[in-house]
């Protein structure tokens, strides 16, 4: 596990204890390729596509999807990184999250933005990301791509592109990386 | 040792670990990016109230704290001491109680007495207290922004970013602090930060402007200013604080400039990569020659610019959330 994944796994002073692997690296790579094709199919104009990965877990998936889109379209696609720590609605009830880099170097007005994250759970991170995006202009549309949708939404948010639907129970945890997807539990560090 | 200022007060840098300081510097990197956006505002402290209480005059610290709080979407209560009931003889305790009664989440305070911030933190234990300078004691955010400025400038030269380097660029870095060490809370905070990050710190001053307990400080004392300038990678100048009576500790300002001022002559002999710093406000012609302040090696304006992201980081880490948090 690289540092970002460890940080992800250590969220809130908890450590991820894996129970079983649900997807292999090959499964993940095939799913991402399919999602890239779906993105191309669904968006008729490709010139204003921007892929934005959510820190930290979404970054490797966003990078991969952006380069696959580049391959398919034959032209490179804008890639940005977004950290939503400062936009979260749970700042007062959870420990202050450590922030990481945000790098969106262009105005998003009129663009079709594809937000990319690793796991979609309550939907609160996406809510924060939508708020954050409005500080970079007014996108034409915003779509959501996630590697894993594990259910338990607390907000009216749904993904447009899903790598894998994994029904989980509330106390289970999911770790999704390019090396595979694991299910397990969070235990105090 | 405190390993993180999250959910805590910031009264002094003396008991902060290297990790705690690096966390503030790294968080400030995120806020540098926020300050470059066209919309320079994030909602992290929406609905929080930050009171700014300056019992001593200040331009840059006060403005940069208030800018920082506003860019985090906090509401700012600003007490102009000169036109407040403090002038009618209200005690510090009563002033704090009055402001607290309005419902505040944090106090940013500057006071002429050492220990005033600590005292206030005892009056209002449920409010986060951020020391913006107390007497001769500490000026923590200045120490943090000076460390941040050094890390940023050195990282840029190496073609990397401060975030990538952690505390690595401070290992064996030679930092010389010159001037009125005795009356300087900036020196005390700078030294705490630099030493925690792993730098070697030396001080140079006329004997009368050194504190009496200097041998207990984690620094070496330079015998000769010009030799020390050859040793240094970073030269941090301090203001001769005439309002604290520094003038009577030296025979004359001219003699101070002669022995310990960074004159144009001295600056020309420095290696070109040596950084020149000054916390401001400058006495041009006393501790620093006017032309030296405008050299490319001088990062004085950058220190002011970095004040906003550092203070955003401090407010965010101390005020935004609880220390432990409730379980998810």
On chain A, the residues whose CB falls within 8 A of the CB of B23 are: 98
Q: Which residue of B has its CA nearest to A106?
A: B37
CATH number at residue A99: 3.40.50.2020
The verdict on a CB contact (< 8 Å) between A93 and B320 is no
Strand B128-134's sheet: what is its strand order? Answer: B75-80, B49-54, B106-111, B128-134
**DSSP per residue, B148-188:** HHHHHHHHHHTTS-HHHHTTGGGTT-EEEEES--TT-HHHH
* Position A101 in a domain: yes
- What class has domain B18-138+307-319? alpha beta
On chain A, the residues whose CB falls within 8 A of the CB of B39 are: 135-136
Is B27 in CB contact (< 8 Å) with chain A?
yes
* Position A83 in a domain: yes
Q: How far apart are the first and last CA of chain B?
A: 28
Q: Which residue of A has its CA nearest to B30?
A: A101
The verdict on a CB contact (< 8 Å) between B320 and A91 is yes
The pLDDT tens digits for A134-157 are 999 999 999 999 999 999 999 999
pLDDT at B322: 61
> Residue A146 carries which DSSP code?
E
The verdict on a CB contact (< 8 Å) between B325 and A83 is no
Write the ipTM: 0.80
On chain A, the residues whose CB falls within 8 A of the CB of B33 are: 101-103
The verdict on a CB contact (< 8 Å) between A95 and B43 is no
Low-confidence winner among A112-126, A167-181, B73-87, B190-204 (lowest mean pLDDT): B73-87
Geometric angle at alpha carbon B236, from B138 and B262, rounded to 5°: 135
* Residue B107 scores a pLDDT above 60: yes
* Residue B294 scores a pLDDT above 70: yes
Q: B19: number of CA atoms within 13 Å, CB side?
A: 6
CA B313 to chain centre: 13
The verdict on a CB contact (< 8 Å) between A87 and B42 is yes
* Residue A95 scores a pLDDT above 80: no
How many Å lie between the alpha carbon of B49 and the closest alpha carbon of chain A?
13
CA-based torsion, B131, B136, B137, B142: positive or negative: positive
Task: State whether CATH 3.40.50.1370 applies to domain B140-304.
Answer: yes
* Residue A12 scores a pLDDT above 60: no
The answer to whether A118 and A145 are in contact (CB under 8 A) is: no
Choice between B59 and B119, residue whose per-residue pLDDT is larger = B119
Give the structural domain span for A96: 25-167
pLDDT at B82: 74
pLDDT at B323: 58
How many Å lie between the alpha carbon of B61 and the closest alpha carbon of chain A?
23
- Place B297 in a pLDDT band, splitting at 50, 70 and 90: very high
Is B317 in CB contact (< 8 Å) with chain A?
yes
**Mean pLDDT to the nearest integer, B279-284:** 92
pLDDT at A71: 96
On chain B, the residues whose CB falls within 8 A of the CB of A103 are: 33
* Position A49 in a domain: yes
> Measured between alpha carbons, how far is B140 from B189 in angstroms, rounded to an integer?
5
Is A101 in CB contact (< 8 Å) with chain B?
yes
Nearest-CB residue to A96 (from B39, B72, B320): B320
> Measured between alpha carbons, how far is B201 from B85 in angstroms, rounded to an integer?
43
User: Where do runs of H (alpha helix) occur along chain B?
Assistant: 18-34, 60-71, 92-101, 116-123, 140-157, 162-165, 185-197, 225-231, 253-260, 264-269, 290-293, 300-319
**Mean pLDDT to the nearest integer, B206-210:** 95
- The domain locations on chain B are 18-138+307-319, 140-304
What is the residue-averaged pLDDT of chain B?
A: 93
Low-confidence winner among A7-21, A73-87, B45-59, B284-298 (lowest mean pLDDT): A7-21
Same fold, B18-138+307-319 and B140-304: yes
* Position A121 in a domain: yes
* Position A146 in a domain: yes
Choice between A101 and B154, residue whose per-residue pLDDT is larger = B154
Nearest-CB residue to A95 (from B6, B23, B44): B6
User: Where do runs of H (alpha helix) occur along B158-272?
Assistant: 162-165, 185-197, 225-231, 253-260, 264-269
Geometric angle at alpha carbon B234, from B110 and B19, rounded to 5°: 60
Q: How many domains does chain A have?
A: 1
**Mean pLDDT to the nearest integer, B117-134:** 96
Q: Which residue of B has its CA nearest to A98?
A: B27
In a 10 Å sphere around its CB, with 0-12 CB exposed, 13-18 middle and 19+ buried, how is residue A55 labelled? buried
* Position A36 in a domain: yes
């Amino acid at each position: 596990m690289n540092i970002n994944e460890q940080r992800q796994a250590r969220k809130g002073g908890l450590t991820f204890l894996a129970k079983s692997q649900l997807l292999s690296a090959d499964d993940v790579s095939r799913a991402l390729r399919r999602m890239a094709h779906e993105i191309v199919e669904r968006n008729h104009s490709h010139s204003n596509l921007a892929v934005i990965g959510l820190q930290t877990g979404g970054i490797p998936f966003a990078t991969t999807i952006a380069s696959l889109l580049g391959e398919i379209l034959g032209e490179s696609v804008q890639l940005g990184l977004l950290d939503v720590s400062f936009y979260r609605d749970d700042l007062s009830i959870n420990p202050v999250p450590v922030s990481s880099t945000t790098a969106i170097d262009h105005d998003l007005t009129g663009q079709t933005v594809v937000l990319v994250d690793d796991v979609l759970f309550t939907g609160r991170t996406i809510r924060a990301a939508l708020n954050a995006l409005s500080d970079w202009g007014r996108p034409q549309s915003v779509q959501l791509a996630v590697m894993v949708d594990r259910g338990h939404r607390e907000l009216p948010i749904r993904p447009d592109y899903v790598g894998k639907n994994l029904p989980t129970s509330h106390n289970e945890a999911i770790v999704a990386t390019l090396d595979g997807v694991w299910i397990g539990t969070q235990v105090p560090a | 040792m405190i390993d993180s200022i999250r959910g805590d007060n910031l009264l002094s840098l003396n008991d902060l670990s290297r990790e705690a300081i690096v966390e503030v510097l790294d968080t400030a990197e995120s806020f540098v990016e926020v300050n470059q956006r066209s919309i320079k505002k994030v909602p992290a402290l929406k609905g929080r109230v930050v009171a700014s209480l300056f019992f001593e005059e200040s331009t840059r610290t006060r403005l940069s704290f208030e800018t920082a709080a506003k860019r985090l979407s906090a509401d700012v209560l600003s007490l102009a001491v000169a036109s407040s009931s403090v002038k009618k003889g209200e005690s510090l305790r009563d002033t704090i109680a009055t402001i607290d009664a309005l419902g505040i989440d944090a106090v940013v305070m500057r006071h002429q007495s050492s220990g005033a911030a600590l005292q206030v933190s005892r009056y209002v234990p449920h409010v986060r207290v951020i020391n913006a300078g107390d007497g001769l004691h500490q000026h923590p955010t200045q120490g943090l922004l000076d460390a941040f400025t050094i890390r940023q400038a050195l990282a840029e030269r190496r073609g990397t970013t401060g975030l990538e380097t952690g505390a690595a660029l401070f290992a064996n870095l030679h930092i010389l602090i010159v001037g009125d060490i005795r009356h300087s809370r900036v020196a005390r905070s700078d030294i705490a930060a630099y030493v925690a990050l792993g730098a070697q710190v030396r001080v140079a001053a006329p004997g009368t402007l050194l504190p009496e307990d200097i041998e207990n400080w984690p620094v070496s004392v330079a015998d000769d200013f010009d030799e020390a300038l050859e040793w240094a990678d970073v030269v941090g100048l301090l203001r001769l604080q005439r309002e604290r009576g520094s003038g009577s500790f030296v025979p004359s300002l001219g003699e101070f400039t002669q022995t310990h001022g960074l004159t144009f002559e001295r600056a020309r002999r420095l290696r070109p990569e040596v950084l020149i710093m000054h916390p401001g406000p400058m006495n041009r012609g006393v501790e620093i020659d006017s032309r030296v302040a405008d050299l490319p090696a001088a990062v004085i304006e950058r220190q002011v610019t970095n004040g906003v992201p550092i203070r955003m980081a401090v407010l965010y880490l101390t005020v935004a959330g609880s220390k432990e948090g409730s379980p998810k």
